[in-house]
Structure 1
Amino acid sequence: MQHDTFIGQVQARARLDSRGSAETATRATLETLAERIPADLANDLAAQLPREISEHVRRITVRPGSEHGHRFGQEEFIARVKQRAYTDASGAEQIARVVFGVLDEATTGSTMDKVRHSLPDDLRELTLAGSSG
């Protein structure tokens, strides 16, 4: 999937007012996801995304002092997306669901299944709900 298509899908599905808002939503979700999953899995995910989008994942994996595989669930995930996307909790949940749905379409093989398997049940539910768009 091309960068413009990915961002366009996020913008349309989340009903965001601009491409910039869609970029911010995507960045917020992917950076938070990269903090939650193991670094090798984050790198596998990034490898399947357009360069501009994969940078949001890779930025976390190469940042000095950054950690991966943090143990947090859906509530903390939403709180982090909320802070990064400058939105409220319901907006953060909506954009995370949408970004996960677009990730399902942008990746191949079992990458997203592996991502889901690495998450706790409550957070896994958030990723599955995104596929309904």
Structure 2
Amino acid sequence: MGDGVGALRVGEFSTGKAHERVTAWEPGRKLAFTVVKQPAMTEEISPCRRVHATHLNGYFQTRDTSFEIEKRPGGVTRLIARASHVLRLDPALYWEPMARRAIHENVTRVLSSMKVKAEAVQPRSLPDR
């Protein structure tokens, strides 16, 4: 919905749709966005599908995410992914390791999917900076 900075994106995930607002956009180089609305996070790691744990609403949120492509010597490309999250569940010492594990598994899934898609297309060179 729109183009460039300020545009709204909809991310399709196995748990539902995430609504995102683009905060930085440099075609072929960088995409950054803020998550405005996200689907339930617990379904990804739960053995039970479609369980809506209302007591967890708003306690774990993804906020800002960015992907940046960096051209490296020797024709190598580096992908830099960053994300910030908010955990509001006590006791944090108990929940934080599980939240970190869930984040790690999700990032691994996303980056693996991106790798498969990127390697399936013909390479094209990035403009020099």
> Is TM (by shorter chain) over 0.5?
no
**Greater share of helix:** 1
The structure, 1 or 2, with the larger RCO (C-alpha pairs under 8 Å, 6+ apart) is 1
State which structure, 1 or 2, has the greater radius of gyration over its C-alpha atoms: 2
**Greater share of strand:** 2
